[in-house]
C-alpha cells in the first residue's frame, strides 16, 4: 500500500498529456510555480488521440489509482480531430471500466490548452483529491504481478 510515514494515502496517478496543448500547459504550470502533488506523473504523447485504451488498462493493472488524459480543447487539436477520437474512445472505455469496478472518478479526460497552466494545476489538485477520497484502486489487482 503506497503510504507515507504518517500513514497518509498517496495515490499513483498517470497523466497522458498531448504534446501541443496539455504538456505545454503542464510546462506553464511548472514555470509559473503552480504546484500540484508529486503523485501525478506525466507521459508525453503527440496527441490525446494517440492514447490507446490498452495503456490505461495497463496502468490500472500495474497499480495506478487514477488515470487522466489531457488534450487540446475541442476545435483546437493540433491534428484537427485527435481529441474528438480520444473523447469518444475514453467515454466507452471509462464506462466499461466502471462496470468492472474501476470507478468513473478514477478516470478523466480534461482539455487543457498551452496557456492554461493554472487550469492544469487546478485540475491535477482536484483529481488527486478525488482519487484520495476513492482510496487505493483494488480492482484489476488480480491481474497485477505483485507479491
Partner 1 sequence: MQRIGVFVCHCGTNIAATVDVKKVVELVRFEPGVVHAEDYPYMCSEVGQQKIAEAIKEKQLTGVVVCSCSPRMHEATFRNCAEKAGLNPYMVEVANIREHCSWIHKDMEEATKKAVILARAAIAKVNLNTPLQAGESPVVKRALVIGGGIAGIQTAIDIAEAGYKVDIVEKTPSIGGRMSQLDKTFPTLDCSSCILTPKMVEVSTHPNITIHTYSEVDKVSGFVGNFTVDIKKKARSVDLDKCTGCGVCQQKCPMKKVPNEFNRELNTRSAIYTPFAQAVPNVPVIDREHCLMFKTGKCGVCSKVCQAGAVDYEQQDEIITEKYGAIVVATGFDIIKLDKYDEYAYSQSPDVITSLELERIMNAAGPTNGHLERMSDHKPPKNMVFIQCVGSRCADHRGKSYCSKICCMYTAKHAMLIRDKYPDVNVTVFYIDVRTPGKNFDEFYRRAVEQYHVNYIKGQVGKVAPQPDGSLLVQGVDLIDNKQIVMNADMVVLAAAIEPNPDIRKIATMLTASIDTNNFLTEAHAKLRPVESPTAGIFLSGVTQGPKDIPETVSQAGAAAVKVIGLLAKDKLKTNPCTAKCDVMMCNGCSTCANVCPYGAITYEDQEVRGPGVREVRRVAQVNVALCQGCGACTGACPSGAMDLQGFSNRQLISEVDAICR
81 binds partner 1 (CB under 8 A): yes
126 binds partner 1 (CB under 8 A): no
For the segment 95-114, give every residue that binds partner 1 (CB under 8 A).
Answer: 113-114
* Choices 101-109, 115-123, 127-135; region in contact with partner 1 by CB under 8 A: 115-123
Q: Measured from the CB atom, is 58 or 130 closer to partner 1?
A: 58
Name the maximum alpha-carbon separation found in the chain: 47
Q: Rounded to 5 degrees, what are φ and ψ at 14?
A: -105, 130
Count of residues that interact with partner 1, criterion CB under 8 A: 53
* Choices 55-63, 101-109, 126-134; region in contact with partner 1 by CB under 8 A: 55-63
The number of residues in the chain equals 147
Question: Among 84, 75, 79, 139, which Cα is nearest to 107's?
Answer: 139
70 binds partner 1 (CB under 8 A): no
Beta bridge partners of 110: 70
127 binds partner 1 (CB under 8 A): no
14 grid coordinates: 498517470
State how far the Cα of 119 lies from the Cα of 107, in Å rounded to an integer: 17
State how far the Cα of 103 lies from the Cα of 107, in Å rounded to an integer: 8
Give residues in contact with partner 1 (CB under 8 A). Answer: 12, 14, 19-21, 23-24, 26-27, 29-31, 33-36, 38, 41-47, 49-55, 58-59, 62-64, 72, 75-82, 85-86, 89, 113-116, 121
Amino acid at each position: 500500500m503506497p503510504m507515507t510515514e504518517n500513514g497518509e494515502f498517496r495515490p499513483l496517478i498517470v497523466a497522458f498529456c498531448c504534446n501541443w496543448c496539455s504538456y505545454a500547459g503542464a510546462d506553464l504550470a511548472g514555470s509559473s510555480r503552480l504546484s500540484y502533488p508529486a503523485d501525478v506523473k506525466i507521459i508525453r504523447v503527440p496527441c490525446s488521440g494517440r492514447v490507446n485504451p490498452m495503456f490505461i488498462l495497463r496502468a490500472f493493472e500495474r497499480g495506478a489509482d487514477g488515470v487522466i488524459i489531457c488534450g487540446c480543447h475541442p476545435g483546437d487539436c493540433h491534428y484537427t480531430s485527435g481529441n474528438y477520437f480520444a473523447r469518444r474512445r475514453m467515454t466507452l472505455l471509462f464506462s466499461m471500466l466502471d462496470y468492472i469496478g474501476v470507478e468513473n472518478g478514477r478516470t478523466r479526460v480534461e482539455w487543457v490548452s498551452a496557456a492554461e497552466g493554472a487550469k492544469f494545476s487546478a485540475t491535477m489538485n482536484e483529481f488527486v483529491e478525488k482519487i484520495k477520497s476513492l482510496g487505493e484502486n483494488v480492482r484489476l489487482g488480480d491481474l497485477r504481478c505483485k507479491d
